[in-house]
Amino acid sequence: MRFWDGRINRTTYWAAFAAAVGVITGVRLLGFDSRMFELLLGIICIPRMHDMGWSGRWILLPLAVLFGGSIWAGASASSPEQVLIGAYTVTAMVFALMIWLGCLKGQPDWNEYGNPPPDGISFRQ
């Protein structure tokens, strides 16, 4: 079973979230591009969504908003600063949604993604 096929609780989500942010920060401090590592944050959200009974495909919605917003901002902005403001706004919204995702309780019973995850930090079911 792959990590994103099952369910994780809030404790596991926050531990994985903190580890991913630590990796991203370390990569940036070393002077490398961290975009590939930022995908870790999206992958961590999938089993968390499963715990609430939602499809992991919802993680694609922020990507669509970011892509569509980038095209719109590039076409309508009169200065590069406006494009950056739009990009930072969308990034802040996605980050806020990820925080919100970590605060919601999961379904207490079995759902289509499996049994409820055990208490504590656990990546296995």
Residue 74 pLDDT class (50, 70, 90 cuts)? low
Instruction: Answer whether residue 125 shows pLDDT above 60.
Output: no
Q: Is 46 in contact with 32 (CB distance < 8 Å)?
A: no
What residues contact 66, with CB distance under 8 A and at least 6 apart? 87, 90, 91, 94
Task: Please report the DSSP string for 22-66 in residue order.
Answer: HHHHHHHHTT---HHHHHHHHHHHHHHHHHTT--GGGGHHHHHHH
Tell me: pLDDT of 123 over 80. Answer: no
Nearest CA to 102 out of 21, 6, 11, 4 is that of 11
Number of domains in the chain: 1
Inform me whether the pLDDT recorded for 103 exceeds 90: yes
Report the share of the chain in percent with pLDDT over 90. Answer: 32
Question: Average pLDDT for residues 90-103, to the nearest whole number?
Answer: 84
Q: Report yes or no on 116 lying in a domain.
A: no
pLDDT at 85 over 80: no
Range of the domain at 95: 3-103
Determine, yes or no, domain membership for 16: yes
Is pTM beyond 0.85? Reply is no
Q: Give the tens place of pLDDT for each residue, 18-37.
A: 999 999 899 999 999 887 88
Evaluate whether residue 19 is within a structural domain.
Answer: yes
